[in-house]
Structure 1
C-alpha cells in the first residue's frame, strides 16, 4: 500500500512540474478536439525552440540576443500569422520532449527531416536543403571517408549527423571513434586543438563557421548525404500546422523568405 501511495504521489508531482514549466500552448491530444490554432491565437505568440549555438541558423550575439536565418524567417512567418514570436533556447538533445511537454510550440532551427523524427513529430514541407559534410584540417591525414576509420571524429550529440552516418556502410567501422559534443562549435574547437581529426556536421553550419574563423580547414568531397530542414510541431496540432504551412508558403511567394536568405547566405536558398 505504501508503495502504491508513493507511486501515485510521484506521478502527481511530475504532472505538477510539467504544468508549471509550460511556456508554449498546452498539448490537446487528450481533449479529442484540435484547438491548437485557437490556442496560439489566444496566447498571441509562437514559442520557437532553438539550439542557440547553431550558426547561422540560430545563435547568440555578444549582447546575448539570439539571431540567425531561422529566427528572421520565423519572424516573417509569425508576422503573416498575426502573432508574436518568442525564441527559446532549449537543450537540443531533448528537443522532442520539450515539444511534447508544451514548453515550445515548434522545433525550428536547422531541424533535419528524418524517418525517426517523423515518428515523433509532424513536419512542414522542407524549406532548405543541406548536406552532412566532413571537415578536417591540412596535415591531419583525413582526405576520404575511409580515413575516418583511423581517427577521432567530433559530432553533435543527438544530431542528424549521427543519423546520417548510421545509414552509411562505413558506420560500424567508425562508430567507436565518435566523440559527442553538446554543440558543433565545441567540436570545431577540439578539431583546432587536434583532439579530434574530423568533424561531421551540417554544410550550412560548416560554411558559416569557416567563413568566420579562417584557417587551414579542409571540407572533404566525401560526405554523408543530403537532407532537408523542416519545422516540427506536435502530431495532434493539425490546425496549427495547416496555418503555419500556409504562412510559410506566403513568405516564399511574396519574396520575404528570399530576402532573409540573401541576408544570411548571399543568395536565395529557400526551397520553392
Structure 2
C-alpha cells in the first residue's frame, strides 16, 4: 500500500493561525529528542552544525520524532550539496542551511534539494528512507512537494541581501541567527545589542515584504516575546542542552553548599 509522508514545515507554517514555537536538540540524544518531541511544541530542530550528531544519529532522531505530532527540521553543517543529499535521503523533509549570505548561496541550497533538471540532488530514492524505499508513489516527480527549505541569515552581508534571498524561488522560510550575526557585526556575544536587534528587524521586514515566513533564535523568553510582537512566524525558544545546563545549575545553587560552607542539616 502506498505511503504518505508527513506535511512539511512549509505546510505547517501556512496552516497555522499563530507563530510556531520550537526548540533545538543539540545533544544528539534519542531520549532527549523523544522527550522534546512529546512536549507539545510545534517543531524540533535537530542540529548537525554545532553538535557531534552524525548521519546515523540524525536517522535515529528522525525515527524517534516520527511517532509524535511535531515537525522535525535538520540543520546541516554547511551549504554542501553532498551533505544535503544525504540528509534528504535519510528522510529529512525540512533541511535548514546555515550561513546563507547571498541570493546565489540561497539558489545553491535550493538546487541541492531538487532533482535535475531543476537542481543537482543525486537520485537514490529507491535505496533511501526519503521515499520509504519506493513505497511513496511518484516520489521522484513530487519530491519538491515533500521538502521545505529554510535558510539561515547570520551575517551582516546576509542582512544586506535579505530582500534578494527572500525572493529566491524554493526558499520556503528564513531563520535569523543573532549569535553569528552579532559576531559578524563586531558585537560577539551581544545578541540583544540594539544594532543586532535592528538587523534582525531588517530581515523581518525584507521577508515580510516578499511574503516569506521568517523566524529567529531567541532562548530568552523576553526577547522571544519581543520578536513575536515584531512579526516572527516561528521562534526557537530553547535547546535541550541549555535547558539541562540551567536546570542543573539551579539545583546546585539551591541544594549545594557554597564553597567552604556547610551543607544544611535536616
TM-score range, shorter chain: under 0.3
* Larger RCO: 1 or 2 (CA < 8 Å, sep 6+): 1
What is the TM-score with the length of structure 1 in the denominator?
0.24
What is the TM-score with the length of structure 2 in the denominator?
0.25
